[in-house]
């Protein structure tokens, strides 16, 4: 599968977890086929979470004596990337908005990776708190996929709220 080595490892680890879900031997071929189709759908979902929205997965089974092997053949298709990334409302943070935007590490041209978007949202929420926006709210992400261009748009609403500045004063006592 094309893509970053880290993405390949993630999918391999997640794929092993898919296989581990079916430790009980199926009693008949129909049950095995249902499980293979379900695992195929799960693999497609894992591929979509990595940015492969046109992935196809074909399950097949072979029998050799008492051993039944299920093979999931996957074609990931083209990797989708972000064509636009917006954080509407962040500008309300005023001069801090540019630095806060840097905390959200997903950029135009990046692969549409669900975990990267989640991690960037957490980093932005943390940065908002560190800059004094303790009551900041991050809205629900909206990702729109364009299957014609293989691009996605990401919008993540941000409401910084008011900035809270805490200052400590120390006074020397008179003796």
Task: Kindly report whether the global pTM for this prediction surpasses the value 0.85.
Answer: no
How many whole angstroms separate alpha carbon 110 and alpha carbon 99? Answer: 19
What pLDDT score was predicted for residue 79? Answer: 97
- pLDDT over 80 (residue 161): yes
- pLDDT over 50 (residue 26): no
For residue 84, name the pLDDT band (cuts at 50, 70, 90): very high
Higher model confidence: residue 45 or residue 31?
A: 45
Q: Which of 60-74, 117-131, 160-174 has the lowest mean pLDDT?
A: 160-174
Q: What's the Cα-to-Cα distance from 89 to each of 59, 86, 97, 108, rounded to whole Å?
A: 45, 9, 10, 18
- pLDDT over 80 (residue 139): yes
């Amino acid at each position: 599968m094309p893509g970053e080595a880290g993405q390949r490892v993630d999918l391999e680890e997640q794929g092993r977890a898919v296989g581990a879900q079916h430790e009980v031997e199926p009693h008949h071929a129909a049950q095995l086929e249902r499980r293979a189709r379900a695992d195929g759908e799960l693999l497609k979902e894992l591929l979509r979470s990595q940015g492969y929205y046109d992935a196809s997965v074909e399950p097949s089974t072979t029998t050799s004596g008492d051993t039944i092997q299920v093979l999931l053949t996957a074609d990931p298709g083209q990797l989708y990337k972000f064509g636009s990334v917006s954080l509407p409302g962040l500008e309300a943070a005023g001069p801090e908005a540019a630095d806060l935007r840097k905390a959200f590490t997903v950029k135009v041209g990046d692969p549409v990776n669900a975990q990267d978007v989640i991690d960037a949202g957490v980093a932005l929420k943390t940065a908002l708190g560190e800059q004094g926006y303790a009551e900041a709210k991050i809205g629900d992400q909206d990702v729109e996929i364009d299957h014609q261009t293989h691009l996605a748009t990401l919008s993540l609403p941000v409401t910084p709220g008011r900035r809270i500045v805490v200052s400590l004063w120390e006074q020397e006592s008179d003796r």
